[in-house]
């Protein structure tokens, strides 16, 4: 299992390349990182998903109003090719989740613009990949599911707060990211 307290990751600076000037701020979850939505991002040199046929990615984050419509807050794998992207789409008052995976020539996007959530609130999202079965959860409640012929993502890097190619910047704060090498059930998720 990999669990990143994002503020500690930024403070260490040895494991991460920092773009822009993401700020360490206080929140009800302690120290978190605030991204400005126009140039703040974190970049790691590898992917934590190598060899995994099943995994759960969880993010505790705070999407803030005033950002772009399309925002990527977690990207791992390649820029194009095998990858996982966790994204949001925003309106003036709400957002909806977009989870994307590509494995070989297979692609699957789990997104539904009618499943809106209020902006400017802390939220827990989970993306579960279980031997080709895909699930998204918001605050422990399942939203969407799908299937894909999935092979483990073997190469690539990881970005937080932006896409790997430095597009679609995230505006808001991130507290934690946890990657578990198994398909977790909601009762096993991080507490909100």
pLDDT in tens, 35-78: 999 999 999 999 999 999 999 999 999 999 999 999 999 999 99
Domain ranges, residue 115: 2-183
Contact 167, 70 (CB under 8 A): no
Structural domain count of the chain = 1
pTM: 0.95
Euclidean distance between CA atoms 140 and 154, whole angstroms = 28
Q: Is residue 106 part of a domain?
A: yes
What are the φ/ψ torsions at residue 7 (nearest 5 degrees)?
A: -65, -40
pLDDT in tens, 114-170: 999 999 999 999 999 999 999 999 999 999 999 999 999 999 999 999 999 999 999
Q: Is residue 20 part of a domain?
A: yes
What are the φ/ψ torsions at residue 12 (nearest 5 degrees)?
A: -70, -35
Q: Is residue 191 part of a domain?
A: no
Q: Is residue 100 part of a domain?
A: yes
């Amino acid at each position: 299992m990999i669990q990143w307290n994002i503020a500690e990751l930024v403070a260490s600076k040895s494991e991460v390349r920092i773009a822009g000037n993401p700020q360490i701020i206080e929140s009800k979850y302690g120290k978190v990182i605030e991204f400005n939505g126009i140039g703040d991002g974190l970049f790691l040199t590898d992917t934590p998903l190598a060899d995994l046929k099943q995994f759960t990615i969880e993010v505790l984050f705070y999407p803030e109003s005033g950002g772009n419509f399309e925002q990527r807050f977690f990207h791992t794998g390649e820029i194009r090719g095998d990858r996982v992207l966790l994204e949001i789409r925003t309106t003036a008052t709400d957002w909806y989740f977009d989870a994307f995976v590509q494995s070989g020539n297979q692609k699957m996007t789990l997104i539904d613009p009618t499943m809106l959530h209020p902006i400017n609130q802390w939220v827990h999202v989970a993306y579960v990949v279980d031997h080709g079965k895909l699930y998204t959860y918001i605050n422990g409640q399942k939203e969407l599911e799908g299937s894909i012929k999935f092979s483990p993502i073997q190469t690539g890097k990881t970005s937080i707060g932006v896409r790997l190619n430095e597009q679609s910047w995230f505006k808001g704060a991130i507290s934690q990211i946890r990657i578990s090498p198994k398909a977790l059930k909601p009762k096993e998720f991080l507490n909100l």
